[in-house]
Amino acid sequence: MTGERPLTVRTAGRHALLVDLPDAERTAAFHAELLRRRAAGTLPPVEEIVPGARTVLLDGVSDPAALARRLARWDVPARAAGTGGVAEIPVRYDGPDLADVAALWGIRPQEVAARHSSYTYRVAFCGFAPGFGYLTGLPGPLHVPRRDTPRTRVPAGAVGLAGPYTAVYPRATPGGWQLIGTMADPGRLWDLTRDEPALLTPGTRVRFVAEDETA
């Protein structure tokens, strides 16, 4: 059914709309269009614009029914233009699941760094913890399952993989992602002294830079 229509607008209570998109690419495009229109002052006031994997939530809307009618008529470019920012994240590929991931990818462990750092990712959405971005851009054949048993503690800066996503843990938490590396200065991911505390905001493009193992 989805795929037939570019978007489906659902009601989430009295003040919110949840917009269903057919795929991650069109979700990113729709999200970028929302931000563009908000910046241009042509979007009615919305308290929160929260992208998900294949949805965008618009919360704190005074007249959701009117906005829903407008959204249905939008002509959204199929592909989100780059939003400008590219965040570079230096990574030492030394994670405890490196060998498991290499096996799943059918390569040698020492080749994981070059492979993982060869793509440009994009922050699809945030969640789980402040500053935790779910990054898309890993090709389908490289998607790996979560660990069977989650770890009770994943250290801050751990670089992990789960399903279609890769991510960096902004702080130590329990977690079930497959860990392949470490970001040396994870404090950059969430820094309340900055105007924008999150390094990885939705739409931001991300490159991982492999650090020399011997450095």
Partner 1 sequence: MSPEITVVRPGALTTVQDAGRPGHAHLGVPRSGALDAPALRLANRLLGNDPDAAALETTVTGCALRPGRAVTVVVGGAPCPVTVDGRPAAWGTPVHVPAGAVLDAGTVTAGLRSYVAVAGGVAVAPVLGSRSTDLLSGLGPEPLRAGDVLPLGAPAGRTALPGAAPWPAPPGELVLPLRPGPRADWFTAAALRTLFSATYRVSPHSNRVGLRTEGPPLERARPGELPSEGMVLGAVQVPPDGRPVVFLNDHPTTGGYPVIGVVAEPGLASAAQAPAGTPVRFTPG
User: Site residues (CB under 8 A) for partner 1?
Assistant: 10-16, 18, 47-57, 59-60, 125-132, 134, 192, 197-198, 201-202
CB 127, min distance to partner 1, A = 3
CB 134, min distance to partner 1, A = 7
CB 109, min distance to partner 1, A = 30
4 Cβ contact partners less than 8 Å away, ≥ 6 residues apart: none
Query: How many helical (H) and strand (E) elements, i.e. helices and strands, does the chain have?
Result: 4, 13
Q: How far is CA 132 from CA 30, 62, 170, in A?
A: 21, 29, 6
Could you give the CA distance from residue 195 to residue 209 in angstroms, rounded to a whole number?
25
CB 68, min distance to partner 1, A = 12
C-alpha closest to that of 185 among 206, 159, 215 = 159
SS3 96: coil
C-alpha closest to that of 46 among 28, 58, 63 = 58
Which is nearer to partner 1, 113 or 198 (by Cβ)? Answer: 198
Which is nearer to partner 1, 11 or 120 (by Cβ)? Answer: 11
CB 203, min distance to partner 1, A = 10
The residue count of the chain comes to: 215
Which is nearer to partner 1, 8 or 117 (by Cβ)? Answer: 8
32 Cβ contact partners less than 8 Å away, ≥ 6 residues apart: 80, 81, 83, 203
Which is nearer to partner 1, 95 or 133 (by Cβ)? Answer: 133
SS3 32: helix
CB 93, min distance to partner 1, A = 25
Which is nearer to partner 1, 55 or 112 (by Cβ)? Answer: 55
Which is nearer to partner 1, 39 or 192 (by Cβ)? Answer: 192
Could you give the CA distance from residue 184 to residue 49 in angstroms, rounded to a whole number?
31
C-alpha closest to that of 73 among 47, 37, 118 = 37
